[in-house]
Each structure stands twice: as structure tokens, then as C-alpha cells.
Amino acid sequence: MGKYVLGVDLGTSAVKVSAVDHAGQIVAQESFDYDLIQKQPGYNEQNPEDWVSGTTVAIVRLILNDHLAAEDIEGLSFSGQMHGLVLLDENNKVLRPSILWNDTRSTPQREEIEVKMGDRFVDITRNQPLEGFTLTKLLWVKENEPEIWAKAKTFVLPKDYVRYRMTGNLAMDYSDATGTVLLDVAKGVWSQEVCEAFDIPLSLCPPLIQSIDFAGTVTPAYAEFSGLTTATKVYGGAADNAAGAVGAGILHPNMVLSSIGTSGVVLKYEDNADVNYHGVVQFEDHAIPNKYYSMGVTLAAGYSLSWFKKTFAPAEEFTDVVASAGKSTVGANGLLYTPYIVGERAPYADADIRGSFTGIDGTHQRYDFVRAVLEGIVYSFKDLFDIYEENGGDFDTVVSIGGGAKSPLWLQIQADIFNRKVVSLKNEQGPGMGAAMIAATGLGWFDSLQDCAETFVHFGKAYKPNPENVAKYAKMHAIYSQVYQQTKAISAQLLDYRRTELTSL
């Protein structure tokens, strides 16, 4: 029998635990679902105990059902859902359900931060104080639940709480700490200036560790609970986006990630903290010590295509709908789609903007609309690429994952619009693989995450830009870039109309 590491991917709806061997092969995988607590619109919470129980059940299943010997599991690490607030008392007991990343109750607190600190806040944290980040949640509790706040002695994020329950040690890794927007990113310490501005005790912030740092061994109590041995070593782990970047091999300055899920993410490796995007894109610590990444989000990337299929081709296979775009032309015969159907985050932080098809005439066929959707999603990514280029970003390889990596046509569209080589992964496993790579590197199986990637990460076919298509897409993207400003006011008026109509019903 070989030796294994476990990658614990702690998501919003489920935890998935993967057992990975020295060759980077997943030998077994188990998962466990848990529920959201939604007390009212905009509220999204979870019971931290559900994360602990779910993770433990998945590990027990690996040992009992998949017949992994506990003594062969040398170590484990985490990928964790970001930003979720877990408040602990003086005995490290949970004070209230965790307020999650997708909870939107804290708009007044976001506005308070903007008024009080303005651009200074962005200079320190490199991020805007969005509702999703942890600081706004801390302030909400402080202002709305003073009896809870009075008992709070420390806070952690979701994966950090599970790690604490395994090892008895409290800590937070840098990649997750950046997402709290309490970290001074350039200095790599909790920001005393931010804490003092909002009357938050600096002691509330936990010790900081690197993602690959040793965080402790499994305690006797957790060993009995899970079936692991007390020799199992636990490592810091990373925020899900950082772990996903590791799992996709985004470990060098020349690489950018293009991820098309329900939302879309463009993520770029950053060699140092010198660049300042002024909060237009998020800036975070990477899982690699003293390295960083930046990322922008398109809210309705894959969701745009799902919406289109559900509305106009409900009975057809997804792959057939996407493939039909091949009947159209580069530029979809002059048809443009903007994917703002649920608002937008980057580069336009605009909740009221709405999507559009522009340039429709009587000759367009359904396949032109499909092509326009595929291209429109990638144009929105190109907006973020342009920000990187304006700030001196130098990269030549795009790693495509998610829905955009499942279609050769869509991969070529990305290569032509980005004017970069685009590659997919042969065995796409996402953040869970990144967590396993962190554990393997921490254990010393490899000298660095980059060395680990040479064994664990395998790229597929490379799609290279076609110069003729690149030129055509450059013209179309220039037109696309004007649509936001032209439709912003109209979108807001239409949204007001809809809200008024709904209120009058």
C-alpha cells in the first residue's frame, strides 16, 4: 500500500474529501452535503458543527468504505469557502451561526467603511469593502448583536474552524486573511489602522500562518471521532480561489486562470504586492508563501448560457446547443451579447445593470445567438485582461477550467479573443486537488508547490490564437466595451419599472 494525503474541499453546500497518492492520482473520494440557514431574504448562515460533522463522515467513509488504512494517510489540508464569519468565545466555543460569503445584510456597514476610510481602506487592504467580505459581517454583529459581540474573543473562517477542531490550534492562513479585508497586504500583518478605525480589538484576529505551514497533528479526541491516527499531520490550507489556482497550476507569473462556472473568474498570479488595482479587481495572498493573485468576477458567465438553453432550447442537450455556435461566424454575424443578467461585479461594480443582445436583425438564426452568448462571456473576461495589460501584466498562457474548457469551439474562441495560448486540464479537480497539493508539499513530498504541480497537474491540448480571428474579435470587443455605458441608464430605469410593477401587484 502507498501513502496518501487528503484534500478537504469545504464548500458552501457540501464538503468533498479526496485521497491522493504520490503520483497525484485520486484513489478515493467521499462527500457530505449540509444545509443553509436562511432566516430572511439576504441572510445566509451555516452551523459550523455541520462542517465538522460532514468532514468527519467523509473521512470515516474513506477509511471504512474505500478501505484506506488510517496509518497510510500521512497528512491533510484544506480548501475553504471564503469570508464566512465564525465568532468564538473565551473557550473557543461558537457564539452564533456563521454568516457566509453570500450574505448581503451588511450594506450599511459597507457604506460606513467607505465614508470613514475611503481610498485609504483600499490602499491598505487592496480591496473594496464589499458585503461578502468578513469585516462588514463583524461590524454587523457589533452593531446588531452587542450581547454576542461582548463575548467574542476571536474569529476564524470556515476551514480554520474545522482545522481547529482537528488539531486544537487556532490560526488563519494568509490567503483567507486577505479576504477578511482586515489585513495590511503589503506588510503581511493585521491592520491596526483598520481595527482602530472601527473599534475592533486587534486581539480578535487569530495568528497568521502560511498555507503550507504545519498546523498541528490530529488530537486523540478527533482521532477517535474520525478514525485517523494522531500521527496525521494537518497543514494550513487556503481559500478556495487560491486552492483552485494551485490545483489548476497557476503558480507562475506568465499564467492566468479563466474559470467559467455559474459565475466566471479571471485569476492572475502576482509575483509581488507592488501593483495596486485600486479595488477594481480583488487582490489576495496566494497559497504560495509571499506570492499573490488578483481576480475579477463576472456574475453571470455559465449562468448566461444556462439561462439561454433553459429559455430557448429546454429539450436539447447542452453540448448540442454549444456546438451549434459553430454554424455561426466569428463575431456572431454582428450580434453582441452582454452577460449582465444579474448585475455585474468586475470591472463594473453595478447591481442594476442588465444584459442585452445588440445588433439583432431578421437574418440572425438561433445559432448566432448561442455564439453571441459564448463570445459575450469571453468579452467580459477580456475587459479584465485589459486591466491587467494596462497595469503592465505580462502573461502568455491561459488555463481554462469549468464549462468553457469542455468545448473545443469555446476554447478556440477564448484563444482568439484573449490573443493568448489557452490550455485545459486533463484531470480537472479544482480546489480539492489544490488542498491535496498543499498537504503533499507541507509533508516534504515536494520542495515547493511548483514542483508538486509538475507531478499533479497535467495540461491538455493547447489552443493558439488565429491572427485573422484575433483582428475581427478586437473590433467586436471595442464595440462591446461601449455597450455598458450606453445601456447603464436604461437598465436602471427598466429595473425601477419592474420593481414598481411587482410592488403594485
CA–CA gap between residue 227 and residue 166 (Å, rounded) = 12
Angstrom distances, CA of residue 350 to CA of 116, 250, 347:
22, 29, 9
* Annotation says 285 is catalytic: no
458 is in an annotated binding site: no
Residues 96/148, Cβ–Cβ less than 8 Å:
yes
Q: Per DSSP, what are the bridge partners of residue 233?
A: 75, 217
Rounded to an integer, what is the distance from CA 184 to the centroid of its chain? 21
476 annotated as ligand-binding: no
CA distance 78 to 64: 21
C-beta of residue 159 within 8 angstroms of C-beta of residue 206: no
- Amino acid of residue 329: T
Q: Under a CB-based contact definition with an 8 Å cutoff, are residues 295 and 270 in contact?
A: no
C-alpha neighbours within 13 Å on the C-beta side of residue 150: 4
Query: Angle at which helices 134-144 and 107-117 pack, to 10 degrees?
Result: 110
Q: Find how far residue 354's CA is from the centre of its chain.
A: 23
Going by C-beta distance under 8 Å and a sequence separation of 6 or more, which residues neighbour residue 285? 173, 174, 175, 177, 178, 183, 185, 188, 242, 291, 292
Q: Please answer whether residues 149 and 138 qualify as being in contact, where contact means their C-beta atoms are separated by less than 8 angstroms.
A: no
**Comparing C-alpha atoms, which of 372, 374, 370 is closest to residue 404?**
374
CA proximity to 431, closest of 3, 17, 5 = 17
Measured between alpha carbons, how far is 371 from 385 in angstroms, rounded to an integer? 21
**Sign of torsion over alpha carbons 492, 498, 500, 503:** negative
Backbone angles phi, psi at 156, to 5 degrees: -140, 175
What are the backbone angles phi and psi of residue 154, rounded to the nearest 5°? -160, 165
Catalytic residue among 9, 160, 184, 240: 240
What does the angle CA 145 – CA 167 – CA 88 come to, to the nearest 5 degrees? Answer: 10
14-20/4-10 β-pairing: antiparallel
Whether the Cβ atoms of residue 72 and residue 2 lie closer than 8 Å to each other: yes
Alpha-carbon distance of 265 to 343, in angstroms, equals 15
Q: Which positions are annotated as active-site residues?
A: 240
Residues of the binding site: 82-83
